[in-house]
Amino acid sequence: MSDKAAIDHKTWFTPFNAISGTIIIIGIVISILRFTVGLGAVTHLSDDNPWGLWIGFDLLVGVALAAGGYVTSAAVYLFGMKKFHSAVRPAVLTGFLGYSLVVFALTYDVGRPWRLPYPFIMQQGTTSLLFEVAGCVALYLTVLFLEFVPAPLEWLGFKKVRELAVKLTLPLTVLGVVLSTLHQSSLGALYLIAPSKLHPLWYSTYLPVFFFVSSIIAGLSMVIYESALSHHYFADKMDAAHLQESEGVTLGFGKAASLILAGYFTIKVMGIAGGDHWHLLGTPYGLWFLVEMIGFVALPSFLYAVGVRNKDVTLIKWTAAWTVLGIVINRLNVSLIAFNWHLPSARRYFPHWMEIATSVFIVTIGIVLFRFIVTRMPVFYEHPEYKD
């Protein structure tokens, strides 16, 4: 074996490639079963539980964690916080991949995925929340693609098209914020039609507000968390500006996350007071609600504040990871754990192992695509020919 062949062999056979390749192969097999045999073969969905993990995790969590795109773009281009500019492209890329995978995951959950475009062509009424969510997600996915497209255009050397794409940055940012406000809140509004199914501690007329505010928290925390991982694994792809601005992004986003978490905690308490559900806090579900509120809202708000005051970047990064976990728990509480809470255990939903494997498969695809793009395109550095 030649030296070049030996290097190629070592490059391809890495732990990352071995693990991700295995997951993708298993995911492809399950996908074939799903689209040839049907939902019943790979899920535990039923008439009682028509929405499962693929909606609770792949959709609700995915959309929330992809909010870093609109949060970062708004901070830089609308509020003039140019010191966070280095975080824009990674955040937009994460958002674009997140929304793309949300749409991809929907093809698994929908009984006849080939009819996904049908409502846009045939539906006469537009009063459905699902129609609004679908329309906003489709439009925002297009916006994210157009926001990110300058990076691949620079990589390909298409200068004139790239100049046109850059000129669209400001209107696209405004449109992205409007669309995100609509569909982030509408995802919460979907559960307003199920007051008898969702536990009273999680059900509130403020659900749309809760979902929107928590999406901002998710976006800020995800940018910090993704930045920490990127600096660990892709530091060699970053230019001096990205390396120097990293601490400022972490401190600035950590400060914002602390304040918004405090506000989120306040409006959640207002939701309990509005429904007069204080007596439910002593029940088993109430104790789990307190774990979410104290452990994943109040605690990270405090830790972010301490980290910013002491300029402890490491603490902020760990708090970001903890907050991301809290967003995951919140969305699963609303969609799965506290949903149909009154049903006997025999009729409660627990995901099939193939549902879990499919979600892991979809997340792995996102990680592989992110790795492929950032190692080739100017995401963590400015292209030398486009210093403007």
Tell me what pLDDT residue 126 has: 65
Contact between 68 and 95 under an 8 Å Cβ cutoff? The reply is yes
Tell me what pLDDT residue 5 has: 46
Total-model pTM:
0.92
Total domains in the fold of the chain:
1
Residue 388 lies in a domain: no
Residue 384 lies in a domain: no
Contact between 138 and 128 under an 8 Å Cβ cutoff? The reply is no
Question: How far is C-alpha 7 from the geometric centre of its chain's CA atoms?
Answer: 36
The 3-state DSSP class for residue 43 equals coil
Beta-bridged to residue 198, according to DSSP, are 339
Rounded distance, CA 199 to CA 75, Å?
35
Residue range(s) defining the domain that contains residue 86: 19-374
Residue 3 lies in a domain: no
Residue 165 lies in a domain: yes
Residue 385 lies in a domain: no
Residue 92 lies in a domain: yes
Tell me what pLDDT residue 179 has: 94
Instruction: Calculate Rg over the CA atoms of the chain.
Output: 22
Residue 380 lies in a domain: no
CATH label of the domain that carries residue 96: 1.20.1630.10
Contact between 251 and 313 under an 8 Å Cβ cutoff? The reply is yes
Tell me what pLDDT residue 124 has: 57
Residue 2 lies in a domain: no
**Per-residue pLDDT tens digits of the chain, which is 388 residues long:** 455 444 444 577 788 899 999 999 999 999 999 999 999 999 999 988 899 999 999 999 999 999 999 999 999 999 989 899 889 999 999 999 999 999 999 999 988 888 887 777 776 556 777 888 888 899 999 999 999 999 999 999 888 899 999 999 999 999 999 999 999 999 999 999 889 999 999 999 999 999 999 999 999 999 999 999 999 999 999 988 888 888 999 999 999 999 999 999 999 999 999 999 999 999 999 999 999 999 999 999 999 999 999 999 999 999 999 999 999 999 999 999 999 999 998 889 999 999 999 999 999 999 999 999 999 999 999 887 776 5
Structure tokens of 242?
């990205």
Tell me what pLDDT residue 131 has: 83
Tell me what pLDDT residue 92 has: 96
The 3-state DSSP class for residue 339 equals strand
Contact between 307 and 319 under an 8 Å Cβ cutoff? The reply is yes
N-terminal to C-terminal alpha carbon distance within the chain: 46
**For the CA atoms of 161, 162, 165, 167, what is the dihedral angle to 10 degrees?**
-110
Tell me what pLDDT residue 27 has: 97
